Amino acid sequence: MLPTELRASLAEQIASVDHPRELLVDVMFAVQDHYGYLSDQAVEEVADLLGMTPLEVEELATFYTFVYRHRVGKYVIHVCDSVICWMDGHESLVEHLERKLEIKMGETTPDGLFTLLPVCCIGYCDRAPAILINKKVYGPLTPEKIDEILAKLQGEA
């Protein structure tokens, strides 16, 4: 269940606009921030808040890259697979990440720390190859830099 406070503040925001549905993305993100991902229960709660059906919420939740319908790790690594990154070694970057984390694209490490996901152009072509970790951009990357970043995040966790 969502904490009463969060629920109340979302309900207040929703009440203040003409078309509640336009806040769907914002509400999904707020709920996702709370749970870490959008569980089935969370989808129902979002639907309930906005007076929509869970199916309508599901439609949107599965449309956007940054809404997670499955449990994700503490750090979500989005690897840009756009043309510039791809010219600058995207493939070996993915291979390195998969080897290092011992997971495939789309999976989460058993310790729940990292999730690997692809993302279409994130617009950091001047920093190719680039990745986003929890929406913060890192690049240009080399295997050594990745190791450094991962070690740092592991240390912080």
Partner 1 sequence: MNKDDLTERFASILRRADRRARERRNEAIPTIYIVMSTCGLASGAAETKQAFEEALSDKDIGARIVPVGCLGHCYAEPLVVIDHPATGFPPICYHQVTVARARRLVRSYLEKGDPVFEYVLGALEENDLIPAVTDFARFNLEQRLVMEHCGRIDPDDIYQYIAAGGYSGLVKALCLEPEELIDEIETSGLRGRGGAGFPAGRKWRLASTAKADGKIIICNGDEGDPGAYMDRTILESNPHQLLEGLAICAYAVGADQAIVYVRAEYPLAVKTIKGAIKSAEGVALLGSTILGTTFSLNVSVFQGSGAFVCGEETALIQSIEGKRGMPQHRPPYPVEKGLWGRPTVVNNVKTLSSVPPIIKNGTEWFRGSGTETSPGTAIFSVVGNVKHPGLVEIAMGTSLRTLIFDVCGGIPNKKSFKAVQIGGPSGGCLPESFLDTPIDFDSLTQAGAMMGSGGMVVMDEDSCMVDVARYFIDFTQKESCGKCTFCRIGTRHLLNILDRITNGEGSEQDLELLGTLSEDIKLGSLCGLGETAPNPVLTSLRYFLDEYEAHIKENRCPAHKCRALTAFYIDLEKCARGCEVCVGCCPVEAIFTTRGRKKAIDQKLCVKCGECAVVCPPEYDAVLKVSPPELAPTLERTPDGK
Binding site for partner 1 (CB under 8 A): 18-26, 29, 59-60, 63-67, 81-84, 86-87, 92, 95, 99, 119-128, 130, 132, 135, 137-139
Q: Where are the alpha helices (DSSP H) in the chain?
A: 4-15, 24-35, 40-50, 54-61, 83-87, 90-101, 143-156
Please identify, using beta-carbon distances, which residue of 125 and 153 lies nearer to partner 1: 125
Please identify, using beta-carbon distances, which residue of 60 and 113 lies nearer to partner 1: 60
Give me the least distance between CB of 10 and partner 1, in Å please. Answer: 14
Measured distance CA(85)–CA(28) in Å, rounded: 30
Give me the least distance between CB of 25 and partner 1, in Å please. Answer: 6
Please identify, using beta-carbon distances, which residue of 132 and 146 lies nearer to partner 1: 132
Give me the least distance between CB of 127 and partner 1, in Å please. Answer: 5
Give me the least distance between CB of 147 and partner 1, in Å please. Answer: 14
Q: What order do you get walking across the sheet with 114-119 strand by strand?
A: 114-119, 75-80, 131-133, 136-138
DSSP 108: B
Measured distance CA(101)–CA(150) in Å, rounded: 9
Please identify, using beta-carbon distances, which residue of 34 and 99 lies nearer to partner 1: 99
